[in-house]
Each structure stands twice: as structure tokens, then as C-alpha cells.
Amino acid sequence: MDYRRDDQNDQHQTESSHTEHQNTENRQLIEHPEQELLDEPVSYEAGKQETASSLEMEKTETAVKKEKKRRAAWLSPILGGIIGGGLMLGIAPYLPSDQDQATEAVSANKQVQSGNFKTTPITNASNVADMVEDLEPTIVGISNIQTSQNNTFGTGGGSSSESESGTGSGVIFKKDSNKAYIITNNHVVEGANKLTVTLYNGETETAKLVGSDTITDLAVLEISSKNVKKVASFGDSSQLRTGEKVIAIGNPLGQQFSGTVTQGIISGLNRTIDVDTTQGTVEMNVLQTDAAINPGNSGGPLINASGQVIGINSLKVSESGVESLGFAIPSNDVEPIVDQLLENGKVDRPFLGVQMIDMSQVPETYQENTLGMFGDQLGKGVYVKGVQGNSPAAKAGIKSEDVIVKLNGKDVESSADIRQILYKDLKVGDKTTIQVLRNGKTKTLNVTLTKQTESSSS
């Protein structure tokens, strides 16, 4: 199954990317049906004699009880892999073992908002049209302008020219004196020589990149606040439930369709996506929605029934016969990253300083004859191909051809597990333990994590 960032450039795919100027295949959109509601019978005490008025009251109570006992049937979409320029994604559904978990919070991260975000729900959110009208001034279009060399005869000279490489969407979340700030996706702004922002009224502004983060696919832009009338409010994504109504607003296929609104529901919570980036493979936690997310919607908001942003649209399914599968980064995951980007322009993460290969890719004969592994040890953990000099791993005593099987007390099955533990459970300066297999014997090593550098990913 083919999935992709909803506006990524890819010369080898038939679906169009970022900009409206590229060809797009026509697709028949299939509406996601509402989940079937199941009624449960309500029993009454047999033989009870009632007056006419009592029977009327009993009918009313029955209707109320039946309405309360309705519940939605669980839908389990089958997801495959995602490919999008710059990021390759492999999707595996997170399916709760108990149906009741379908209505649990999307993220274990409770909402702890800083002063960078407004939280007040809008007052006229009961009407979708009124809500969209209220939110429209906070939605922007973003153009990624890149410079290319014009060298017709290959002589090394020639002139350079600027052209629009792609487009995306964004949402204004903060206004501070003469500056305003926008959240979008990293893949919308990546590689840009210049960024321009188009406001709801058609005014354009040159934007400054405040900071971006490849791992979370988030970026923050700064523009003049001269034409900014309001900012969006952010909600608590941990309170979302499957089946809640949401809307997506953005600029599919560029400015021609700016401010496009699509409506749907939260189709799933806690979807886990393996993302291969320049920083290595990491897991992303996303919301699943059936609100249409088309090329150019990246970076735009997913909005709840109170008119609050509860996600940043980032991914869509791209395969013939599969529709209404879009994904957004939960607002509670977005906010702490945005806070760091505003403060530092980047996100500092710990690293080990090792080159890794998953053991599933190491031949079993090599595991047995060279690494000295046997029995239950085979196929488990991550093979250390190399160790960076003066890194935390080197100082801890990790060596090439070690096999990492535990980090911070947690089992390691793949390099993605190591990055997940590093990025989610640990921080710069933490002291932790690493368990390795060396010549078939288990060793536990102590390591102190330091700041990740630009040239190393784990």
C-alpha cells in the first residue's frame, strides 16, 4: 500500500506534489460512512400495572436509556508503508486490545501549555460555517522558493533563477508586538532559499524560518504582524475520542484552492508511524482522520468542534481504491516542540554515537561464527557497526560488533527502538544503562548522554 506526505515532490510517483502547477490524477473520493450505532434492549419488570400517564413516562424513559446505551463499532483499518520525498514511512496500526481503549486519550502527554498558545474555544463553534469564518484569518499558504542554476551548455557559468518548488499550509498561533508566528511542517519548508506566506486576504509576506525539526516534521516561521488580525486557539488532543467531528483547512494544490475546508471525524487514535529521515528511523504518534487531506494541505490545522487546533495535518494515503485516510500530528505533541523551536531554533536530543544495523539484516551464520551468538540470542537486538570517537558510547566502553539488546531497562529489537527510547524517555545529561552481547556474553555498561550533533543521529 502506497502512502505519502500529502505534498511531497517525487519524480517516480504518479501523484502530484506541493504545487498546483504539477499534473494531478483525478480520483473518486469515497465518503467515510458514519460508524453504525448499535442499540441494546432495555428490560422492564413484567406484569407491572401502570396508569396511562405512567406508561407515557415509561416510554420517554425508554427512549432516553436506549440513546445512552448506543455505542460505536470499532473500525480497524489495515495500513501499509508510506513513501514521500525525503521521508519514507512504514505504517503499522495501533490496535487496542480492549474496545473501550478506542475512546481513550490520543497521547499519554497531558496538555501543559506555555504562554505561546491561546486556548479559548470560539463562541460560535456550533455552526461550522461560522467557525470557518472565524478561523479563516489564521490559515496561511506557504510557498517554498528555491534557486536553480541555468547552465545550458554545461560550461559551469550561467545565471540563477528562483522558482516555486512547492506549496503547503500553516496556521498562525502567536502574535507578539510587530511579529507573528506560524506552525507548518518541516517538509513544506525544507531546502527553501526563500519562503513566502499568503494570508487569507491575499496579502503576501516574506517569512523567516525560526526553526525546524526533521524528526517531528515541524517548523516555525516568523512574519510581520501588520496584516495579522487574530491567532488560532489550541485544544487538548489527549481528550479526543474516536468518532469526534473535525474539519481540516488548507490550500490543496496551491493558492488556487486556498482556504479549502473538508469535514470528517477522528477515525483513530495513537497510530504509530515508522519514519525514515536524515536522522534515522523514528516513530511518530499521529491522529487518523477521514477529513480529506490533499496535496498542499501539509502544515494546515485539524480543528475540533470547539474551533480549536488539535492537530497539524501531515500525511495522506496515496493508493488507488483507498480513500479517506489522513494523518495529523497531535497538538499536545506539537506544542513542546514549537516552544523549543521558538527558544532555540532547534530541538536538542541525546545521542549515543554508534552506527547501527538491525540484527534481522545480519546473516545468522555471521551471528554464530563471528559474533559468538547462539540459541535465543540469535536475531535479537541491534548490531554496532561502528562507534564514534569520544562519543557517549565510546566512553561507556561500547565496541564495534557489540549487539545492543537493552537500553534504559527496555528491550531493543531494532534501531527504531533505540531512537524511540532516546528521544522519548531520555534527555541530554541523563545517566542510563546499556546491555550488550559481546562474544555471546551479556555486559551491562553505564553511559552518560550528551547533546546530539548535526552529523550524528543516534
CB under 8 Å to 433, separation ≥6 — which residues? 406, 407, 408, 409, 444, 445, 446, 447
Contact 118/308 with Cβ under 8 angstroms? Answer: no
Each residue's pLDDT tens digit, 132-187 = 888 899 999 999 998 877 665 555 566 678 888 788 999 999 999 899 999 999 98
Q: Which residue has the higher pLDDT, 414 or 244?
A: 244
Cell numbers 498542499: residue: 296
21 is catalytic: no
Averaged confidence pLDDT in the chain: 75
Q: What does the H/E/C string look like for 48-79?
A: CCCCHHHHHHHHHHHHHHHHHCCEECCCCCCC
298 has catalytic annotation: yes
- For residue 75, how many C-alpha atoms fall within 13 Å in the half-sphere facing its CB? 20
In the predicted model, what is the mean pLDDT of residues 254-274? 81
Gyration radius of the chain's alpha carbons: 26
Q: How far apart are CA 280 and CA 367, in angstroms?
A: 24
In three-state secondary structure terms, 343 is helix
Q: What is the DSSP letter of 443?
A: E
Q: Cα separation of 249 and 343, whole Å?
A: 28
Q: What is the distance between the terminal CA atoms of the chain, rounded to a whole angstrom?
A: 29
- Name the pLDDT band for 320 (thresholds 50, 70, 90): low
Question: Taking the domains of the chain in order of start, what are their residue ranges?
Answer: 132-149+161-224, 237-344, 350-451
Q: Which of 7, 213, 217, 333 is catalytic?
A: 217
Q: What is the pLDDT of residue 438?
A: 92
Secondary-structure class of domain 132-149+161-224 per CATH: mainly beta
The dihedral through the CA atoms of 60, 61, 64, 69 has a sign that is negative
Catalytic residue among 233, 237, 238, 298: 298
Q: How far apart are CA 449 and CA 452, in angstroms?
A: 9
Q: Is 399 helix (H, G, I), strand (E, B) or coil?
A: coil
Distances in whole angstroms, Cα of residue 138 to Cα of each of 118, 220, 234, 427: 12, 14, 12, 34
The Cα–Cα gap between 170 and 257 comes to 14
Q: What is the pLDDT of residue 440?
A: 87
- Three-state SS at 107: coil
The predicted pLDDT at position 212 comes to 94
Backbone angles phi, psi at 46, to 5 degrees: -70, 145
Note the pLDDT of residue 4. Answer: 55
Count CA atoms within 13 Å of residue 244 on its CB side. Answer: 24
Which residue's entry shows cell 505561546?
A: 116
Cα separation, 28 vs 77, in Å, equals 19
Q: What is the pLDDT of residues 288-314, one digit of tens each?
A: 988 877 777 889 999 999 999 999 998
Q: Alpha helix locations (H) across 108-195? A: 128-135, 186-189
CA distance 210 to 221: 5
Mean pLDDT (whole number) for 218-237 = 94
- State the DSSP H helix or E strand holding residue 380, giving kind and residue range, or none if neither: none
- Going from the C-alpha of 84 to that of each of 16, 144, 269, 276, 360, the distances in angstroms are 11, 17, 22, 10, 24
**Interatomic CA distance for residues 348 and 200, integer angstroms:** 34
Q: Which one of the listed residues 7, 18, 107, 187 is annotated catalytic?
A: 187
> How confident is the model at residue 311, as a pLDDT?
95
Measured CA to CA, the distance from residue 161 to residue 150 in angstroms comes to 7
Render pLDDT for 115-129 as a digit per residue (tens, 0 to 9).
899 888 876 667 888
Whether 74 and 99 have beta carbons less than 8 Å apart is answered as: yes
Beta bridge partners of 198: 141, 204
What pLDDT, on the 0 to 100 scale, is given for residue 200?
87
Q: What percent of the chain has pLDDT over 90?
A: 34
Q: Taking the C-alpha atoms of 17, 21, 26 and 31 in order, what is their torsion angle to the nearest 10 degrees?
A: 60
pLDDT of residue 399: 93
Task: Give the distance from CA 160 to its chain's centroid.
Answer: 35
Angstrom distances, CA of residue 114 to CA of 223, 236, 285: 21, 13, 21
Q: Do domains 132-149+161-224 and 237-344 have the same CATH topology?
A: yes
Res. 3: pLDDT tops 70: no
Per-residue pLDDT band at 276 (split at 50, 70, 90): low
Q: Could you give the residue ranges of the DSSP H alpha helices within 71-169?
A: 128-135
pLDDT number for residue 83: 27
**Angstrom distance (rounded) from CA 210 to CA 295:** 24
Amino acid, single-letter form, for residue 105: A
- The residue-averaged pLDDT of 342-349 equals 90
Write the DSSP symbol of residue 109.
Answer: -
- Phi and psi dihedrals of 346, rounded to 5? -160, 175
- pLDDT tens track for 38-47: 334 444 444 4
Contact between 303 and 118 under an 8 Å Cβ cutoff? The reply is no
**Highest CATH level, class, for 350-451:** mainly beta
236 catalytic residue (yes or no): no
* CATH, domain 237-344, list 1.10.1060.10, 3.40.309.10, 1.20.1600.10, 2.40.10.10: 2.40.10.10
Q: Around 248, how many Cα atoms within 13 Å sit in the side-chain half-sphere?
A: 34
Average pLDDT over residues 314-330: 75
Note the pLDDT tens digit of each residue in 46-105: 444 444 444 444 444 544 444 444 333 333 333 333 323 333 333 333 333 333 343 333
Q: Could you tell me if 371 and 379 are in contact, meaning their C-beta atoms sit under 8 angstroms apart?
A: no
